Amino acid sequence: MSRTRIYVHETRVFTENLLCIFQGNAMTNLIDIQGQIEKLQKQARDIRAKEFDKTVEEIVATMQAFGITTKDLNTASARIAKTKGRRSAATKKTRAKSVATGSTKVPAKFRGPNGEAWSGRGLMPRWLTALTAQGREKDEFAVKD
């Protein structure tokens, strides 16, 4: 073999060896990381269990101090759930419509001479653009409260 071929061959072998070494390190690092994850998850479970017990003790102590029973908690929970569910039929329809269309009705801030309305949001409508181009002021069309 010529010197060039030997050099190319040795370089290829060296590169393949490096590749194997780096892949081996990556696998070792992955295995190490997975081991660390398992260890941390176990620590998290242990801490949560300790804090859970401590929190329950604090809740029980507070309940005893205020004379709160589990019946009181159930009654309060039911009352809260009931008031959260209260909405008038009109409110439910309006909310359902705005959720379905992705928009809510906004009162008009500007009215045109032909009854056109604009909330002041988004681009200026054509009717107002045309009137301002004629020299009229936008404030002339503002809705007075």
Q: For residue 17, what pLDDT band results from cuts at 50, 70 and 90?
A: low
pLDDT at residue number 75: 86
Q: Are residues 82 and 28 in the same domain?
A: yes
Does 94 reside within a domain? no
- What is the pTM for the complete model shown? 0.32
Same domain, 18 and 58: yes
Let me know if residue 26 belongs to a domain. yes
Range among 2-6, 82-86, 92-96 rated most confident:
82-86
- Residue 132 pLDDT > 80, yes or no? yes
The closest of 144, 69, 74 to 110, measured between CA atoms, is 144
pLDDT > 70 fraction of the chain, expressed in percent and rounded: 68
CATH number, domain containing residue 129: 4.10.430.10
107 and 68 share a domain? no
Give me the pLDDT at residue 34, please. Answer: 86
Write out the residue range of the structural domain in which residue 145 sits. Answer: 103-145
pLDDT of the residue at 90: 57
State the DSSP string of the chain.
Answer: --HHHHHHHHHHHHHHHHHHHHHHHHHHHHHHHHHHHHHHHHHHHHHHHHHHHHHHHHHHHHHHHHT--HHHHHHHHHHHHHHHT---HHHHHHHHHHHHHT------SEE-TTS-EE-S-SSPPHHHHHHHHTT--GGGGBPP-
Residue 57 falls within a domain, yes or no?
Answer: yes
Domain count, the chain: 2
Of 33-37, 47-51, 81-85, 130-134, where does the model show the most confidence?
130-134
Give residue 51's pLDDT: 86
Nearest alpha-carbon partner for 60 in 142, 52, 47: 52
| pLDDT for position 142 | 93
81 and 109 assigned to the same domain: no
Q: Examine the domain organization and report whether 82 and 107 are in the same domain.
A: no
> pLDDT at residue 78 above 90?
no
- Sign of the CA dihedral with 75 first, then 78, 83, and 87 last: negative
